[in-house]
Amino acid sequence: MSGGVFRWMLGMVLLASVAPFAFALSPPRPALEEIRHTSVPDYTRVIITLSARADYKHFRVAANQAHDRPDRIVIDFSPTRLDPNLREPIPVDDGLLKRIRTGQFSPTTARVVIDLEQIESYTAFPLYSPYRLIIDVKGKSRKTEVDQPAEQAPAPQPYRIMIDPGHGGRDPGAVGVGGLKEKTVVLAISKRLGKKLESRLKLETRRPVKVLYTRASDVFIPLPDRTALANAEGADLFISIHANASENPHLQGVETYYLNNTNDRATIRLASLENGPLYGRKNGRELSFNAETADIVSDLIQNHKVEESRVFAQVIQSSMMAQVAKRHTQARNLGVKKGPFYVLVGAEMPCVLAEVSFLTHRVQGKLLRSSAYQEAIAEGLFQGMARFIKEELPRMDSL
């Protein structure tokens, strides 16, 4: 056997022995794992969950009567494999969407097809940890097109207010002095606020009030479901209530956020905590806030609600701070800030995120356990919301 042939055969043997290990080391393709939807007459949110981040593209295809194909939205994920449990069509039939279909379009591409009844527009955006693609569809469902008798004057519609206690269930949020969990204290404050809105706002506004909660007990609610619930209920206001935390035990104060981009590092760190994290992880490292992420967040912001949310945040912050200072005279007013909080993304009403105090501060962490301090925070939030509804909403509606 010649030396050249021997070296060639040896190379083939080595390649055959190494190949299985190389295949084993290659990362598996992301899997398309779950599809859910939330529907009301004029709005549907579709949530597509993957096992890991994948590239995607989406486009709309016009109806083809000759081939009996409806108007549809097509989303391709690549490289992605389809979970076998998702091969059956998902019926929707809510007046906007007919059904959702899936398929392995190619060996490396999983396809989701949303068959449409009639819609006006749709938006698509990703969320992280776990990786999801959110499809928000808007339109006018034929199921609601019922004429009311002309002689019947419409009854006054109630103010619908969605309160979102942060975290919950398997997500405790921050843990502070004495082991107090964020999810516990913000739920208690939220319920106090809800009772105030139900008992006093109707008297002050002379209009019915309906208070809604994204969660009323210690349960886990995914971030995209929270704004979806608010949109589905046609809420007039959305407030997400949280308690802050810091590695610096001396940091304390009260602050309120509205949705927008920012370069402030402290806000970005806070957003990553509340969003769990916002930017995802790659190779075990948290992704940073970069131009790509900023573009994504910019696309998600409801520009026509930014100014309303900013004013809402200002009113909430001033009222909350006034009440908190009565119980903690040294409390710092950290002000109104903008931040990329995913719990506010896609909301179709003025929306804010309130950080009511620091769990990790020696004084505020202890105060947050007390009924008196929780009551002061709830009273501040109530007064801010009542003022915004009475003074700011009518002015904004007239513009």
Same domain, 360 and 225: yes
Looking at 196-200, 292-296, 378-382, which range is the least confident one? 292-296
Task: Check the CA dihedral 363-364-366-367 and report its sign.
Answer: positive
Q: At what angle do helices 182-196 and 371-387 cross, to 10 degrees?
A: 50
- Which residue, of 143, 174, 189, is where some domain finishes? 143
Output the domain CATH number for residue 272: 3.40.630.40
pLDDT for res 219: 97
Residue range 78-96, pLDDT digits in tens:
999 999 989 899 999 999 9
pLDDT for res 289: 45
Distance from C-alpha of 184 to C-alpha of 243, rounded to nearest angstrom: 10
**pLDDT band, residue 284 (cuts 50/70/90):** very low
- The encoded tokens of residue 314 equal 């200002």
Residues facing residue 106 across a β-bridge:
109
**Do 36 and 47 meet the contact criterion of CB atoms below 8 Å apart?**
yes
pLDDT for res 246: 92
Could you tell me where the DSSP H helices lie in the chain? 3-25, 182-196, 202-205, 223-232, 265-275, 291-300, 303-327, 362-367, 371-387, 393-398
Tell me if 9 is assigned to some domain: no
Same domain, 203 and 267: yes
Same domain, 312 and 379: yes
**pLDDT band, residue 279 (cuts 50/70/90):** very low
**Do 321 and 331 meet the contact criterion of CB atoms below 8 Å apart?**
yes
Residues facing residue 213 across a β-bridge:
163
pLDDT for res 232: 87
Higher pLDDT, 203 or 31: 31
Same domain, 127 and 201: no
Tell me if 14 is assigned to some domain: no
Q: How many domains does the chain have?
A: 2
Same domain, 374 and 262: yes
Same domain, 95 and 223: no
pLDDT for res 283: 37
For tokens 């106090």, what's the residue? 192
Cα–Cα distances (Å) from 322 to 10, 316, 358, 378, in that order, read: 80, 10, 17, 12
**Do 187 and 165 meet the contact criterion of CB atoms below 8 Å apart?**
yes
**Do 177 and 253 meet the contact criterion of CB atoms below 8 Å apart?**
no
Tell me if 150 is assigned to some domain: no
Residue 396: pLDDT above 80? no
Same domain, 291 and 319: yes
Q: In degrees rounded to 5, what are phi and psi of residue 159?
A: -65, 130
pLDDT for res 224: 85
Tell me if 219 is assigned to some domain: yes
**pLDDT band, residue 266 (cuts 50/70/90):** confident
Residue range 329-350, pLDDT digits in tens:
999 999 999 888 888 888 889 9
Determine the structural domain holding residue 63 and report its residue range. 31-143
Residue 364: pLDDT above 60? yes
pLDDT for res 23: 43
Same domain, 112 and 188: no
Distance from C-alpha of 351 to C-alpha of 231, rounded to nearest angstrom: 11
Higher pLDDT, 310 or 147: 310
**pLDDT band, residue 368 (cuts 50/70/90):** very high
Same domain, 204 and 296: yes
Average pLDDT over residues 262-287: 57
- Which residue, of 143, 167, 187, is where some domain finishes? 143
Tell me if 253 is assigned to some domain: yes
Residue range 213-244, pLDDT digits in tens:
999 999 999 888 899 999 888 899 999 999 99
Looking at 10-14, 143-147, 280-284, which range is the least confident one? 280-284
Residue range 311-331, pLDDT digits in tens:
999 999 999 999 999 999 999
For residue 76, the SS3 value is strand
Tell me if 197 is assigned to some domain: yes
Residue 34: pLDDT above 80? yes
Average pLDDT over residues 168-186: 94
Residue 26: pLDDT above 60? no
Closest CA to 128 of 264, 222, 260, 46: 222
Closest CA to 173 of 142, 215, 206: 215
Higher pLDDT, 311 or 299: 311
pLDDT for res 154: 67
pLDDT for res 147: 47
Average pLDDT over residues 190-210: 93
**pLDDT band, residue 67 (cuts 50/70/90):** confident
Higher pLDDT, 75 or 347: 75
Same domain, 70 and 195: no
Tell me if 154 is assigned to some domain: no
Output the domain CATH number for residue 113: 2.60.40.3500
Residue 79: cis peptide before it, omega within 30 degrees of 0: yes
* pTM score of the predicted model: 0.76
Same domain, 103 and 225: no
- Which residue, of 82, 114, 143, is where some domain finishes? 143
Helices and strands (H, E) in the chain, number of each type: 10, 18
Residue 377: pLDDT above 90? yes
How does the average pLDDT of the chain come out, rounded? 84
Higher pLDDT, 15 or 177: 177
Tell me if 26 is assigned to some domain: no
- The encoded tokens of residue 136 equal 């928000």
Same domain, 73 and 166: no
